[in-house]
């Protein structure tokens, strides 16, 4: 049976060139990077080379990059580390954030460490930037945590506007850029962000490794989130995932080198799917800004289908038909709870069927045609 994969926002296929770069560190160069002997020094050199590669691509200094187990740890490190180190008493986020951010801040608010404010969003998932300015003006010593690209509805944040507001009011700004890293260029010298996050498996690298960019300031370095060793310049205890780190750097290097080509290809696929769905299904809609290529991630399309008896079984039936997609964040795919992002959009009809198609460089036009034909076929049988 033909199977197609349109869940690249959850994870991406490993690039063969990335695996090739990782293999020597998995088989031959096995030393501990903290060891001072020759075996260790070879591996330490590979880690530092990877750090320089990531830093160069982001226009950062190597000392501003440190490696983690993924985006969730990097988000937690930035949020909890800055709140603990700087004595921050107020945080601002939105109900559309990934749970790595949302659950962390809600926990800190519940335990009394911070007061938490949520930005208003409209029916298309657009944030109220005016409210952000008002909250910052009323709450000095704030942390702002807003993602660059939403992993479910694809909305893009106005990074420059948020950066200007945070600088104006002296707020610390953390941005989860997991969905946009490797798909958009991030120049940290131009951005006014204090913390930036990446995860390798979102741009054809290995799972289980990510990084945090931390802007140098006149403040002290944030306290580590994980204690137990002096690794990563005393910022993250634990032996480094060496082959993961090398794979991350190689994957990001490839992503930057081929970004324009891949964007053109993926935007073509997304436009093709939008047009075909509109032609095949009456009253098809698109959640958030995901159908607007200028305002959304070019890798994400959130589709809303008219309500039918099969709406609650839509993803299951698509899987049976050979199509791997999601209805929201894959991090909640085993839960009975619906998407918190879609649930936060005012006026959204809960009876409609929702599918998130997320595209990658390995997808093809034939796969788009196959997926749309199957969705249209299922819908026709149940109207």
Which residues carry out catalysis? 331
Q: How many helices (H) and strands (E) does the chain have?
A: 12, 12
Other C-beta atoms lying within 10 Å of the C-beta of residue 273 = 24
- Closest to 151 in 3D by CA, of 6, 293, 329, 271: 329
Task: Dump the DSSP string for 324-367.
Answer: E-BSS-GGGTT-SS--HHHHTSTT--TTSEEEEEE--TT--HHH
Residue 354 phi, psi dihedral angles, 5° rounding:
-120, 130
Nearest-10 Cα torsion for 258, 261, 263, 266: -120
SS3 117: strand
Contacts of 299 (CB under 8 A, 6+ apart): 8, 9, 154, 179, 183, 266, 270, 358, 359, 360
- Closest to 147 in 3D by CA, of 188, 197, 109, 206: 197
SS3 100: helix
Contacts of 247 (CB under 8 A, 6+ apart): 14, 18, 19, 21, 22, 200, 205, 206, 209
Residues linked to residue 366 through DSSP beta bridges, in sequence order:
none
Q: Give the CA distances from residue 101 to residues 71, 76, 149, in Å, rounded to whole numbers and listed in that order.
A: 10, 7, 14
């Amino acid at each position: 049976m033909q199977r197609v994969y349109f869940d690249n926002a959850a994870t991406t296929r490993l690039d063969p060139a990335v695996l090739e770069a990782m293999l020597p560190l998995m088989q031959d160069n096995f030393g501990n990077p903290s060891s001072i002997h020759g075996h260790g020094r070879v591996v330490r050199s590979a880690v530092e080379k990877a750090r320089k590669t990531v830093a160069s691509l982001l226009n950062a200094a190597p000392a501003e990059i440190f490696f983690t187990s993924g985006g969730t740890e990097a988000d937690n490190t930035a949020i909890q580390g800055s709140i603990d180190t700087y004595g921050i008493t107020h945080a601002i986020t939105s109900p559309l954030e990934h749970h790595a951010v949302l659950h962390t801040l809600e926990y800190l608010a519940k335990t009394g460490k911070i007061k938490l404010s949520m930005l208003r969003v409209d029916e298309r998932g657009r944030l109220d930037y005016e409210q952000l300015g008002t909250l910052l003006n009323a709450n000095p010593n704030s942390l702002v945590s807003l993602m660059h690209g939403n992993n479910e509805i694809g909305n893009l944040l106005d990074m420059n506007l948020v950066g200007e507001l945070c600088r104006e009011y002296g707020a610390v700004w953390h941005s989860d850029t997991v969905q946009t890293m490797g798909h958009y260029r991030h120049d940290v010298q131009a951005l006014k962000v204090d913390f930036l996050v990446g995860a390798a498996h979102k741009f054809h690298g290995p799972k289980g490794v990510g990084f945090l960019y931390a802007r140098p300031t006149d403040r002290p370095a944030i306290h580590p989130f994980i204690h137990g060793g002096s690794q990563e310049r005393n910022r993250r205890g634990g032996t480094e995932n060496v082959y993961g780190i090398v794979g991350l750097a190689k994957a990001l290097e490839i992503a930057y080198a081929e970004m324009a080509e891949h964007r053109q290809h993926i935007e073509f696929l997304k436009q093709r799917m939008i047009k075909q769905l509109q032609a095949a299904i009456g009253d098809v809609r698109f959640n958030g800004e995901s159908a607007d290529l200028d305002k959304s991630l070019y890798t994400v399309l959130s589709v809303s289908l008219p309500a039918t008896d099969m709406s609650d079984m839509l993803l299951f039936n698509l899987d049976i038909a050979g199509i791997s997609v999601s209805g929201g964040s894959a991090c909640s795919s085993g839960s009975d709870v619906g998407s918190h992002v879609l649930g936060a959009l005012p006026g959204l009809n809960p009876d409609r069927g929702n599918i998130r198609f997320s595209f990658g460089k390995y997808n093809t036009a034939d796969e788009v045609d196959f997926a749309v034909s199957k969705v249209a076929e299922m819908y026709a049988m149940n109207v």
